[in-house]
Amino acid sequence: MILIFKTNISCPVAADKILQLVKQQQVTACTIDLEDCDKVLRVVGEIPKDTVVDCVAQMGYECEEL
């Protein structure tokens, strides 16, 4: 399953921390496109969308599914 989210992540350091947090779940791959206007987070794997939103929120950022 591929999940795509719009975020407000703009800091590369924060993006790396969020990716590490998400990768601790059951994911095959995940990326954040900081150059996209929507700061798109793509997650591949068997993970509930609420879990991804919670991981991003833990770091103080917003995340909504596209």
DSSP string, 14-55: HHHHHHHHHHTSSEEEEEEETTSTT-EEEEEES--HHHHHHH
Cα 37 to Cα 28: distance, rounded to the nearest angstrom: 25
Mean pLDDT of all residues in the chain?
95
Determine the pLDDT at residue 7. 97
Residues 36, 20: Cα–Cα separation, whole Å:
20
Give the per-residue pLDDT at 26: 85
> Cβ contacts of residue 29 below 8 Å, gap of 6+?
42, 43, 44, 45
The pLDDT, as a whole number, for residue 63 is: 96
* pTM, two decimal places: 0.92
> What pLDDT digit, counting tens, does each position of 19-42 carry?
999 999 889 999 999 999 999 999
